[in-house]
Amino acid sequence: MLRRIVYALPIALSVTVICFLLVHIAPGDPLSAVAPVDAPTEVIEALKRAYGLDKPLVVQYGLWLGRAVQGDLGSSVATGRAVTGEVLGAVSNTLLLAFVAACLGFLAGCAMGGIAGYRSRSVLDRVVSALSVAGVSVPHYWLGMVLTIIFSAQLHWLPAMGAGPGGSGAWTWDYAHIRHLILPAVTLSVIPMGMVARTVRALVADVLGQEFVQALLAKGLTHRQVFFHVVKNVAPTALAVMGLQLGYLLGGSILVETVFAWPGTGFLLNNAIFQRDIPLLQGTILILSLFFVALNLLVDIVQPMLDPRMRRS
């Protein structure tokens, strides 16, 4: 466990370097969000000094990393508010949406994949495989718009925008807020559901064809007891796939959050990109990337606990 944590540290440091450089390589002037086009040279130079943009990139990175380690990600160029506060508020909403979508996708994918694996090469297997491929292939934003048209515009069953009544960004576990969560969560869950279903289906079919399953049945174990042995062999890989998918949901929800105006990191990233708000852009990408690294580390630690073969290797 300690070795895996040590391996994760240089990865996290590399993430900070890439995160810092990417937004500086992109074209455009970050000061255009706060300074008018015809601003005098003196004003531009003063703004550069205020935001530290007059220093070399290496110095800018060192200063930015030092502040980031202390929890200070700077101030937004567009709003002047602290980036840490804005990002943490948006991250909590994205984590909520990604967690609910991941649970839906994982449960539905495991159920579909398990059924297809036990009924390999049957009509049910073909139907599940077709649904899995369709789920992986359908673009998030398109599915979100279709669901909005059907369930919000036509049937008037669910709200289409925001995280709560009146466009509120504060989350509360009540019926009114949960209704706002359903459409974006279902939209985000489709791709992980397809990935998990395909993975579990292949794993279950492979495990059922192995000799130890026949030996267990020959010993007199019931199909229910054999099922738990199959789950033990399938769980580590399924968990790894779901861990990666949860990481992708955290960073890949920008279009879905924009479609549903969900006040998460994707919505925040979209605004930061169009406003060329470098501190906000850097802070958001950094937090999401570190979450992804932490999730992979957690999966690497949990997998050997579920599969003794990995501990021995």
Q: What are the boundaries of each domain within the chain?
A: 2-69, 89-275
Q: Which residues touch 227 (CB under 8 Å, ≥6 apart)?
A: none
CATH number of 89-275: 1.10.3720.10
Cβ 150 vs Cβ 62: under 8 Å? no
How confident is the model at residue 289, as a pLDDT?
83
Residue 252 has pLDDT above 70, yes or no: no
SS3 295: helix
SS3 193: helix
User: Between these two residues, 47 and 143, which has the higher pLDDT value?
Assistant: 143
Residue 246 has pLDDT above 60, yes or no: yes
Average confidence (pLDDT) over 50-79: 81
How confident is the model at residue 149, as a pLDDT?
92
Which among 80, 83, 20 is positioned nearest to 280, based on CA atoms?
83
How confident is the model at residue 71, as a pLDDT?
83
Which among 219, 305, 310, 281 is positioned nearest to 87, based on CA atoms?
281
Packed helices 278-306 and 83-118: angle between N→C axes, nearest 10 degrees: 40
Amino acid at 225: Q
| Other residues' Cβ atoms within 10 Å of the Cβ of residue 158 | 16
How confident is the model at residue 150, as a pLDDT?
92
| Average pLDDT of every residue of the chain | 81
Q: Alpha-carbon distance 65 to 245, whole Å?
A: 28
pLDDT digits (tens, 9 = 90+) for 86-125: 888 888 888 888 889 988 988 999 899 888 888 888 898 8
How confident is the model at residue 276, as a pLDDT?
75
